[in-house]
Amino acid sequence: MARSKTSKGWLQEHVNDHYVHMAQKDGYRSRAAYKLLEINEKDRLIRPGSVVADLGSAPGSWSQVAARLVGDKGRVFALDILPMNPIAGVDFIQGDFREDAVLDEFVQLLGGRALDLVISDMAPNISGMSAIDQARSFHLTELALDFAREHLKPGGHFLVKVFQGSEFQAYLKAMRDLFSDVQTRKPKASRDRSSEIYLLGKGRR
């Protein structure tokens, strides 16, 4: 029997639903948890006792993963413009990462701790106009890199979601200037149709 044109699309959605079902079963707040779990399984970024900042954390699945992996001796600090229900072991601030006052409050929350890892799954509200959306996205990724530059300890790591666009090469160069090793990651839980990839900076210089 020949496959209809829509069957491929249905199959893709069905496969992606697999992560939605897993998230419900495993108690994660969204399917995004499996992106971080897969990357961490490969790269061993989050260890017991790690101090982690999660930028763009809502609804909280990355914070859930991080809190479970750092354990009682670690700390997770999270920030998002949207509200996020409490997670044990996670200190959360709601606010706009682009505003200095919010960033200052978040830095105060860190209490002078140097971070082992900064993770950023931030994305702007999508306008539908690709040039504007790309510019907004890269502005957020630049702010995240600035934050990592300021607060990561030497040897620390940085994982950030980026969308491939005109500023990608310049951003990649900036990461290579700061980290001893920069690699791309496209976890299986990322939808194939999405242009998102993750850049991983290992070993802050």
Determine the Cα–Cα distance for residues 33 and 23; give it in Å rounded to an integer: 7
62 is in an annotated binding site: yes
Torsion 105-143-149-121 (CA) sign: positive
Determine the Cα–Cα distance for residues 89 and 155; give it in Å rounded to an integer: 24
181 is in an annotated binding site: no
Which residues are identified as catalytic? Answer: 161
121 is in an annotated binding site: yes
Residues paired with residue 44 on neighbouring β-strands, in sequence order: none
Q: Which residues are annotated as a binding site?
A: 60, 62, 80, 96, 121
Q: Which residues are annotated as a binding site for S-adenosyl-L-methionine?
A: 60, 62, 80, 96, 121
